[in-house]
Amino acid sequence: MSLDAIITLGILMAFLATALSGRLAVDFALAAAMTALMLFGVLLPEEALQGFSNPAIYIIACFYIVSAALKESGALHWLIMKWLGRSAKPGRALPRVMLPVAFISSIISNTPVVAIFIPLLQDWAKRHDVSVSKFLIPLSYASILGGTCTLIGTSTNILVVGMLQGTAEAESLHLFSPALIGVPLIFIGLAYFVFIGHRLLPSRMGVAESGAEAREYAVGMRVVPGGALSGVSIADAGLRHLQHSFLSEIQSEGHIIPAVGPEEILSDNDVLIFVGQPEAVTELRQFPGLAAAEGEVFKLDAPYSSRALFEAVVAPVSNMVGRSIKASGFRTQFGAAILSVSRNGQRINQKVGSIVLRAGDTLLLEAARGFVSRHRYSRDFLLLSRLDDVTIPNFDKAPTALMLLGLFILAVVTGLVPLVVASLLLVAALAFSRCISLEFAQRSIDMRVLLAIGASLSLGLAIQKTGLADIAALGIISMAGENPFISLVLLYLATVLATELITNNAAAVLMFPLAQVLSTQLDVSLLPFVMTIMFGASASFLTPVGYQTNLMVQGPGGYRFSDFFKVGILLSILVGVTVVSTVPLVWQF
């Protein structure tokens, strides 16, 4: 092994350790790895940076804008409301949820699709008196499976096609090539949930004490000195039978009273901890003599009359991960106060400012009503819903946006223009027709994802250039006995494992050089190995952190980490068996 190979292996191990530890976001870890490769002379600057000239980068950037335009124009709402019906039984309702999600996710990024469906399903489940946790994991998995159906369904597919650019294999693929396997996968996933999966999904309607929803928050309220509740008993104050929460404990002069009786007398500056659903904040604010215990709320510039409540999930790439709420400077940075934090559907019993945030935490926020328009494309959190006076999009531009998307698909399928040119033209048409403003178009592009993709391409180049890919391929061949099918199975397993541990895009880039060496060493076609990477990098059904849509539904569904594994393990096996058995039939060795 050469010195460059040893250095690259060390950088790769350091990247994996950093990404898995969560101490640094994956995109920054990849950028650090790219810098280290240049610093140690493994790659020249022009080699390390050539990934940023890959057409896939520009196509992915365009589709961030396309997804935002469809969301802003209300086109997705328009389609969704045509499908949701009245039956709330999972066996009947799941097809109406999963099929449109899979269809839409095959054309645009699945993240905005899931973001729109979450509040709609929450309201729909509440009206039909069923647990939303019966639908949110299927929602995420349907979006993942739908994304495998086209070359533009996921950023991973776009990236892999970009790495194939200029090869004979790329010329043989068209927009709907993956659908030959992706569509059967959708119906396998649907059948699985209709007959088996819905029985494994938890039914969490909330805590028994309050009958609240699956998301449970702890909200602190302070007794105002000399106020209406000072010196009044709990029963006389009307705090015994609240609609949205219950009184969990009282913190009085440094002492904690855990079992609060109705005769307990309130004193000045007592902190009352209420546990329940998000609407508890609005209910408690109506009591004269009670004020928010967290000082951050008082520092908001907006008056109470112009504020609203929001829920948001901490993103895996957020700079807040691993930092306390106080240290993150959330109020100063975003102009919003965090009232409470829910983790895995359960409240966190400690002072809000001292809570160390993790990816997937659900935040209950209070902010001015313009918060959504300012931060809907924030990289630090994923906005799920506004809990009062939800804004409905203007549907006037929905038909225009859908028509332009249809023309784009027609142009790509017929080969009139290359994919990257068609993507740029589609963005220009959406902006010209005012389906999206230039401001929103600019803010919708996730530059950190593009940074991660460009940096990961440099790491993949180093793995190939230094011979590490050859060493790994020879290791697989030694286990597979030069059998291309067994090599393909091992490649699929490695890709799925990498996807669950790091990101899907990074997994695809790291496995692509390995696929190239395997096809060369075995003297077979590259295409079956490449398509296996495409499907394997999207097959994240075992953990909430493996795929962004899984993380988005974890908090609103009140899911625990183990729920994803319990529900997804059989589906992961079914998808894996289908992929490795059919890919060689469609794209022969």
The domain boundary, picked from 297, 318, 339, lies at 297
- 212 domain residue, yes or no: no
Q: Could you tell me if 286 and 309 lie in one domain?
A: no
- Would you list the DSSP string of 555-571? HHHT--HHHHHHHHHHH
- 406 domain residue, yes or no: no
Q: Could you tell me if 172 and 92 lie in one domain?
A: yes
Looking at the structure of the chain, the number of domains it has is 3
The CA-based dihedral angle spanning residues 551, 556, 557, 560, taken in that order and rounded to the nearest 10 degrees: 50
Q: Please report which confidence band the pLDDT of residue 211 belongs to, taking 50, 70 and 90 as the band edges.
A: very low
Average pLDDT over residues 379-400: 62
Question: From CA 260, how far away is CA 240, in angstroms rounded?
Answer: 9
Q: Please report which confidence band the pLDDT of residue 204 belongs to, taking 50, 70 and 90 as the band edges.
A: low
What is residue 181's three-state secondary structure?
A: helix
Q: List phi, psi (to 5°) of 348.
A: -110, 115
The neighbouring-strand residues paired with 257 are 250
pLDDT tens per residue across span 243-257: 777 787 788 877 777
The domain boundary, picked from 271, 297, 323, lies at 297
Q: Could you tell me if 291 and 316 lie in one domain?
A: no
Q: Could you tell me if 188 and 224 lie in one domain?
A: no
Residue 206 has pLDDT above 50, yes or no: no
The CA-based dihedral angle spanning residues 533, 99, 115, 281, taken in that order and rounded to the nearest 10 degrees: -130
Q: Could you tell me if 134 and 93 lie in one domain?
A: yes
Residue 554 has pLDDT above 90, yes or no: no
User: Which CATH number goes with the domain that contains 332?
Assistant: 3.30.70.1450
- 162 domain residue, yes or no: yes
Question: From CA 338, how far away is CA 340, in angstroms rounded?
Answer: 6
Q: Could you tell me if 123 and 199 lie in one domain?
A: yes
Question: From CA 137, how far away is CA 84, in angstroms rounded?
Answer: 17
Write out the residue range of the structural domain in which residue 481 sits. 3-204+422-586
- 47 domain residue, yes or no: yes
pLDDT tens per residue across span 501-548: 777 788 888 888 889 888 888 889 999 999 999 999 988 898 877 777
Q: Could you tell me if 195 and 271 lie in one domain?
A: no
- 395 domain residue, yes or no: no
Q: Could you tell me if 456 and 549 lie in one domain?
A: yes
Q: Could you tell me if 126 and 255 lie in one domain?
A: no
pLDDT tens per residue across span 54-104: 887 888 888 778 877 876 666 666 556 556 655 556 667 888 889 988 988
Task: Look at 34-48, 136-150, 208-222 and tell me which has the smallest mean pLDDT.
Answer: 208-222
pLDDT tens per residue across span 472-512: 888 888 888 778 999 999 999 999 988 887 777 888 888 88
The domain boundary, picked from 386, 409, 441, lies at 386
- 246 domain residue, yes or no: yes
Average pLDDT in the chain: 80
Question: From CA 173, how far away is CA 419, in angstroms rounded?
Answer: 12
The residue ranking higher by pLDDT, 315 or 522, is 522
Q: Could you tell me if 453 and 574 lie in one domain?
A: yes
Kindly state the helix (H) or strand (E) to which residue 147 belongs, with its residue range.
helix 136-147
What pLDDT score was predicted for residue 457? 84
**Closest to 527 (Cα-Cα) out of 188, 535, 55:** 535
pLDDT tens per residue across span 29-41: 888 989 999 999 9
Q: Length of the chain, please? A: 589
What pLDDT score was predicted for residue 485? 93
Q: Could you tell me if 277 and 363 lie in one domain?
A: no
- 402 domain residue, yes or no: no
Residue 462 has pLDDT above 70, yes or no: yes
Sheet with 336-343, edge to edge strand ranges? 346-347, 336-343, 362-368, 307-314, 381-386
Q: 453: which residues sit within 8 A by CB, 6+ positions away? A: 51, 54, 56, 57, 60, 155, 159, 505, 509
Print burial letters for 544-576: b (CB count within 10 Å at least 16), e (below 16): bbbbbbbbbbbbbbbbbeebbeebbeebbebbb
Q: Could you tell me if 243 and 187 lie in one domain?
A: no
